[in-house]
Amino acid sequence: MYWNPNPFIIIGLATALAPMVAQAKIYVSVEQAQKVLYPNKSLTKNPIIITDDLQDRMRSASSIRHPFQGDRIWKTSDGGWFIVDEVVGKHEMITYAVALSPTGAVTGVEILDYVESYGYEVAEVQWRNQFIGKTAADPIKLNKDIQNIGGATLSCKHLTDGVKRVAVLYEIALKNQYQASKSK
């Protein structure tokens, strides 16, 4: 008996065995994000020690379990803040930056690295602009004051929770630095 292979089966097998192509992308570097979020302003690195208590308070406010790194904080000469953080998308880490006004309101969000194979729409300006003006007093909650993107739900949720965590960090740890410098 002579075997005649079915081309559709061969194509199906080849497609199933082919590696997935990821949409991994580095959008901007830390320095580029600083220039976008704070054009014509100088920033000074201002790391802080993240105590267990501070980490726990940030976790309870945001539900983000990945530890916050206190060495990626910068301050502008007029009291604004530039903070780099990471959250898990669905499986991979998303690195992003948040700019805060001297009073703790979000003035911008930039996606630095996005490694997931889908959900990259969170890097679109229209979605990120929903955070502008938000403070720790706002819910900053997906499907409440931040809209979801279909197909990117976990990335949207985790980034939203991450921005909330940064806003809470300001309220708990950075606000006092602003008020101290203002009273001088």
The DSSP secondary structure of 6-47, one letter per residue, reads: -HHHHHHHHHHHSPPPP--EE---HHHHHHHHSTT--EEE--
Q: How far is CA 7 from the centre of its chain?
A: 45
Asked whether the predicted pLDDT for residue 184 surpasses 90, the reply is no
Structure token pair of residue 184: 């001088």
Q: What tens digit of pLDDT does each residue of 16-67 get?
A: 444 444 456 889 999 999 999 999 999 999 999 999 999 999 999 888 889 9
Predicted pLDDT at 12:
53
Measured between alpha carbons, how far is 121 from 131 in angstroms, rounded to an integer? 15
Q: How confident is the model at residue 6 (pLDDT cuts 50, 70, 90)?
A: low
Q: How confident is the model at residue 2 (pLDDT cuts 50, 70, 90)?
A: low
> Would you tell me how many other CB atoms lie within 10 Å of the CB of residue 21?
7
The model's pTM is 0.84
Predicted pLDDT at 62:
85
Nearest CA-CA partner of 108 in 84, 86, 128: 128
